[in-house]
Structure 1
Amino acid sequence: MNRSYINLLFLLLVGTSPLWAQKENDILLTINDEAITVNEFQRVYEKNLDLVQDEEQREVDNYLKLFIDYKLKVAEAKAQGLDQKDSYLKEFTKYQNQLSRNYIYEGNVSEELAKEAYERSLEEVHVAHILILSSYEDTPQDTLAAFNKIQNIRDEALSGKDFKQLAKKYSEEPNAERTGGDLGFFTVFNMVYPFETMAYQTEVGEVSEIVRTSFGYHIMKVFDRRPREGEVTAAHIMITDQEDKTRNFDPKERIEEVYSLLKQGTAFDELAKQYSEDRNSAKNGGKLRRFGRGTLRSKRFEEKVYSMQVDETSEPFKSEFGWHIVHLIEKHPIPSYEDQKESLLRRVAQGERSKIVTSSVNQTIKDKYGYSQKNNYYPLFHEKVGEEILQGKWDATQIPSEKNKILFEIGDREVYYQDFASFLQREQNKRTAYTSKVQYLSAQYEAFETETLKSYLLAQLEKENEEYAAIISEYRDGLLIFDVMNSNIWERAKNDSIGLINYYKEHEDDFQWKKRVEATIIQSSDETAVKQARNLLRDGMTVEQIKDSLNTTDRVSIIASQGIYEVGDPLLPAGISIEKGVSEIKDEEGNHM
């Protein structure tokens, strides 16, 4: 790539009139037929002007030379096909998905669900239920039979019959004949979302409407509601009461002996380390992770702990797992919504709540750009796709070209049968829990439609939203420049040290750094995530630890870049103070750094 590829139009513009006299959308220059506008250069120049220490480079013409070098490197990266590499596409897609959340309305829906979850978390409900099993893979006849059965049971419950007795008689939940379907108290995220929603929508003493979950059809009765208590931190010493032929002591006697040692002044943590048979907590002096009601598998243990005062130590008592002595360390108040917001959003992004977010976003895209369903995927794919797809052995070439009809249209894009076939070919090797081809195809078509709609929206965003286009373009170019420098200079240096020395001698003047900084840049469209990252940096956490803490498989909260940057580099936030330490947060048109 050399400067002769730059269109003569650039020379004419610079030579005849000031740059800012041009209209924003006027083409400033072209590189390999790719147009670069006056507006793009002006935005980068004004953004980075305060960072440029060299007065000569602050002049427009001189800064333009830097800008051209920057764009030539990007063009060279594309010429080498670096924008098609899997590593580049994976990294870029992560950032694109994270940045686009604020533009595709996903954030609004997610926050509404997070607020709903927080409000529910302030209360616990006591529920019993009756379940009639019904899988989504059942035949229509079996599904209808299950629905009719639960409807008849509900009629009996509404007539005044004892709900728990009905559960013992009819419910297909394991152990229902013993428990009467009683689930005790629970709160948000303890049950699948449709069940949870019905529980919170049903009044105390009432029998609910029928609700469908992945387990089948349910009805429930709400017996009580109470404010939820905060979590607690406790330590315990446990002696199991399981039969063990290797033991030569009675569990109850052993716990009483330990309690006597405790009363004689031996430290609780020392006794836990020495005698507790919960080895996971024993090594920490018996200390358990903080927990709330309903999170342990022992109701007796929870009830005992919640009845205690801080710094109180219990007498020995028996739970479902054995004998315990408990010391209550701390009672934690329920955090505010703002304190829990990020964790709530992460949980919303999982499970059935995520389907609500996806459905809402998909409908918004359809309404905005226009959506038209042309053909039903099912008849052809039911015929052409066999059960072998569940083992990842289906061949997409089985879709005849003459039957490649339009599935749907979104905006000006037509989506064909072959597009869905290619999607199936790509996805079939991923592990699946489906045992039915019909249910698998249904789930995959939903995923295909979601991916296609989102892909279309992202393409339109760069055309319609100047702010989004600017941010995503800078990140795209930054990744490509890193890759082209890495593959052409840094990696080659490892294998050609003599050549590197000779080249350096010939171009020694070109290798003189201007003022530079070694820095880590953390950025996100979510200001709260950047604030959390800044605090963790100040606490001494590494970048990798921060990414592990704030990012998940399904949601990227922050993007982190580390390197050495010249002052004035477009990748550095405008107006940043060049001094050692963790900076304040800078807002670059919605991109917080």
Structure 2
Amino acid sequence: MIRKFIVIILLTFCVSSIYSQNKKEELLTIDNKPVYVSEFKRVYQKNLDLVKDESQKSVMGYLDLFIDYKLKVAEAYAQELHKKQSYRSELLIYQEQLSSNYLYEDKVAEDVAREAYERSLDEIEASHLLIRIESSSPQDTLAAYNKIKELRKRAVNGEDFNELVRKYSEEPNADKQSGFLGYFSALVMVYPFETTAYNTKVGEISDIVRTRYGYHIIKVTDRRKKAPEILVSHIMISEKKGPKTFDAEQRINEIYQLIQQGESFESLAKQFSDDRNSAKKGGELKPFTKGELRSKEFETEAYKLSVDNKISNPFKTEFGWHIIKFKEELPIKTFEERKVEIEKRVRSGNRAKIITNTVNNSIKQKYGFKKINSYLPFFSEYVTDSVLKRRWRKEPISKEDDKKLFIIGDHEVFYSDFADFIYERQLRIRPHSEKNELLKSFYDEFETQELKIYFRKDLEKQNEEYAATISEYRDGLLIFDVMNNNVWDKAKKDSVGLENYFNKVKDNYRWKKRVDVDIITAQTESLAKKAQKLLENQTGEQVKELMNNDKVNVILTSNVFEVDNASLPNNYKPSIGISDIIEENDAYIVVKTKNIIPSSQKELSKIRGKVMSDYQNYIEEQWLEKLRDKYKVNINKKALKKIIKEYKS
């Protein structure tokens, strides 16, 4: 994930090597390799609003960034990073994703998505019985089918389904006593299983359905409308987020008492919630429905609430302590509102095979496809059973045996190509029990891959938009690798260099003036005035105990902060003693400043992350200087003047 995120950032400065045939004017050359005016203009126009440094928004200012970027790309190729398997694999994934926008038939995807949407309006409660198929041999398949056929007959004739499951089911993950699956909706189970469940009436036993796990029969015990989305707000006090000078459970109970006393939930969320993203909105979360949250406890508590029971009691989850406020139950979204989300899921889930088959057929029809030889007679002998344990060693295939598998367009695919695929692919599969079944799976995947590779190559030749986007991502991946090898990873491993760098620039890393304070937050001005008076002779903790003896009237925060820390009130002025009352976020705040600590030097061990980031920037600049010396850059001044004139007008 980190790599993909950084690649996206790097793409801000990516350029396309694709250009129109009538715009081949050179802007510059790097070691005599041309970079065209159209490339610069494309990236300049695309990224101008993203550049923060005003000096780099001019053509001349941005040209320096552009050249540095092109130098990094040149160095990546010089270091042969484009040959790395990790780079090639990630580029292939992106090509697959991007080309799908040009490849999938919208009508097929929409029909599959609409079916999923219609089903998603209901939830099915069911149990099931599974008989596994030990191998793909006709004998084993028939034996498994006959077994489940007999069990279905017994279930339909009235035998207890739970008892049949206990005795005969071969499903290791369902409830051992009943095969109970609970409630599920669309896009959760594998597609054939889901289809059969939704086509079975409540109380009945389904037809036999085959999935990759084996043969199933399903007993549907309930069908209900799916719970609507709800909108709630919450206040969270984390037990893990940074050093705490208070007990999280005690703090949430204090806040709960303030809510019971009539204080604004939204104001309290802004003041105290550790979920800062929602705190800014008064604690409001995005709408959700059952099964969508990472915390089952939070979801359960939220769905207990209603218009008549709006506020939950404090409760704990793995994220901390919470109080929830119910806001509203939302109407069910239409298909059009959910279309993009559902289509994305059906294209990446087990329904994708429906679309894949359609896509494959369309490619075959467009370019022409001819199957020459069957893979199975040769590969069932050539590939040993060791492939089942991901240990197969590939042997060379003689010229006589290396027959054509199929032809797509003008591209011929041979047995040796499929052998290479199997050798690589075996390393990324779960162990299998039946070789021919695995080979069939491999072949289907391989044929699909070859069809799409051919399609993508032709698409890059014919479609300028697609070619430009792929080129940008290709360079972005290379930039990530070249930066990682020459800057980021180098800095992480060079502890001596980091320390030497810190010693040279340590005056840049100093504590600002800090204050040791007790911050009292009250919901009324009169309570704040009382706290202000008590603070003259009492500590913050003592004031809290005196004022909260029967109910929560004040909240105390004690710590040492830098003077510009967000925990301090906006209008706070550092001065030993007790501040005036400061009104902020619907609250009244009094600050007792116990000590003012002058600016001082920070220790490397305490700020290593910040220093590391600066050290990486330092190494990058030194490295870029070497690249500028290594590569000869010649600028076409005439072309540059034309660009400057164009963007000044």
Bucket of the pairwise TM-score, normalised by the shorter protein: 0.5 to 0.7
Q: 1:172 aligns with which of 168, 173, 179?
A: 168
Q: Paired residue for 2:436?
A: 438
Q: 1:455 aligns with which of 453, 461, 468?
A: 453
The answer as to whether partners of 2:76 and 2:482 remain within 8 angstroms in 1 is yes
The answer as to whether partners of 1:311 and 1:328 remain within 8 angstroms in 2 is no
2:199 counterpart letter in structure 1: Q
* Change beyond 3 A, Cα 1:478–1:192: closer
Deviation at 1:36? 8.0
Q: Paired residue for 2:228?
A: 230
Q: Paired residue for 1:104?
A: 103
CA deviation string 1:535-577 (max 9, x = no partner) = xxxxxxxxxxxxxxxxxxxxxxxxxxx999xxxxxxxxxxxxx
CA deviation string 1:145-178 (max 9, x = no partner) = 33344446666777xx44x646745883379999
- Alpha-carbon RMSD across the aligned residues, in angstroms, is 5.9
2:169 counterpart letter in structure 1: E
Using the alignment, how far apart are the partners of 1:429 and 1:177 within structure 2?
32
CA deviation string 1:203-251 (max 9, x = no partner) = 557664432123332344556532112368999xxxxxxxxxxxxxxxx
1:421 counterpart letter in structure 2: A
Give 1:79-158 correspondences, 5 Å limit: 81-86=80-85, 88-105=87-104, 112-127=111-126, 129=128, 131=129, 133-135=131-133, 137-151=135-149
Q: Does 1:186 align with 2:184?
A: yes
Using the alignment, how far apart are the partners of 1:304 and 1:473 within structure 2?
47
Using the alignment, how far apart are the partners of 2:31 and 2:409 within structure 1?
27
Deviation at 1:418? 0.6
* Change beyond 3 A, Cα 1:372–1:193: same
Q: Paired residue for 1:389?
A: 387
Q: 1:361 aligns with which of 359, 362, 365?
A: 359
* Change beyond 3 A, Cα 1:379–1:87: closer
Q: Paired residue for 1:370?
A: 368
Identity of aligned residues (%): 42
Give 1:292-307 correspondences, 5 Å limit: 292=290
Using the alignment, how far apart are the partners of 2:138 and 2:293 within structure 1?
37
Q: Paired residue for 2:196?
A: 198
Q: Paired residue for 1:379?
A: 377
The answer as to whether partners of 2:186 and 2:194 remain within 8 angstroms in 1 is yes
Using the alignment, how far apart are the partners of 1:293 and 1:327 within structure 2?
20
The answer as to whether partners of 1:136 and 1:439 remain within 8 angstroms in 2 is no
Using the alignment, how far apart are the partners of 2:491 and 2:170 within structure 1?
65
The answer as to whether partners of 2:389 and 2:432 remain within 8 angstroms in 1 is no
* Change beyond 3 A, Cα 1:329–1:343: farther
2:362 counterpart letter in structure 1: T
2:366 counterpart letter in structure 1: K
TM normalised by structure 2 equals 0.49
Using the alignment, how far apart are the partners of 2:33 and 2:110 within structure 1?
39
The answer as to whether partners of 2:372 and 2:406 remain within 8 angstroms in 1 is yes
Deviation at 1:456? 1.6
Deviation at 1:134? 3.2
Q: 1:418 aligns with which of 402, 416, 419?
A: 416
* Change beyond 3 A, Cα 1:208–1:429: closer
1:45 counterpart letter in structure 2: K
Using the alignment, how far apart are the partners of 1:469 and 1:23 within structure 2?
11
Q: Paired residue for 1:45?
A: 41
1:173 counterpart letter in structure 2: S
Q: Paired residue for 2:589?
A: none
Secondary structure in 1 matching 2:189: coil
1:396 counterpart letter in structure 2: K
CA deviation string 1:86-118 (max 9, x = no partner) = 454355334433322312217775565444333
The answer as to whether partners of 2:82 and 2:478 remain within 8 angstroms in 1 is yes
Secondary structure in 1 matching 2:392: coil
Deviation at 1:340? 5.8
The answer as to whether partners of 1:371 and 1:410 remain within 8 angstroms in 2 is yes
Using the alignment, how far apart are the partners of 2:310 and 2:394 within structure 1?
67
2:95 counterpart letter in structure 1: Q
Secondary structure in 2 matching 1:372: strand
Q: Paired residue for 2:209?
A: 211
The answer as to whether partners of 2:200 and 2:220 remain within 8 angstroms in 1 is yes
1:418 counterpart letter in structure 2: S
Q: 1:399 aligns with which of 391, 397, 410?
A: 397
Using the alignment, how far apart are the partners of 1:47 and 1:234 within structure 2?
42
Structure 1: unaligned runs, 5 residues or longer: 1-21, 236-261, 269-283, 316-325, 498-561, 565-593
Give 1:317-332 correspondences, 5 Å limit: 330=326
Deviation at 1:123? 0.9
Deviation at 1:121? 1.7
Using the alignment, how far apart are the partners of 2:111 and 2:456 within structure 1?
23
Secondary structure in 1 matching 2:448: helix
The answer as to whether partners of 2:312 and 2:323 remain within 8 angstroms in 1 is yes
* Change beyond 3 A, Cα 1:218–1:304: farther
2:433 counterpart letter in structure 1: T
* Change beyond 3 A, Cα 1:49–1:291: closer
* Change beyond 3 A, Cα 1:311–1:75: same
Secondary structure in 1 matching 2:102: coil
Deviation at 1:452? 1.9
Secondary structure in 1 matching 2:103: coil
Deviation at 1:420? 1.2
The answer as to whether partners of 1:137 and 1:439 remain within 8 angstroms in 2 is yes
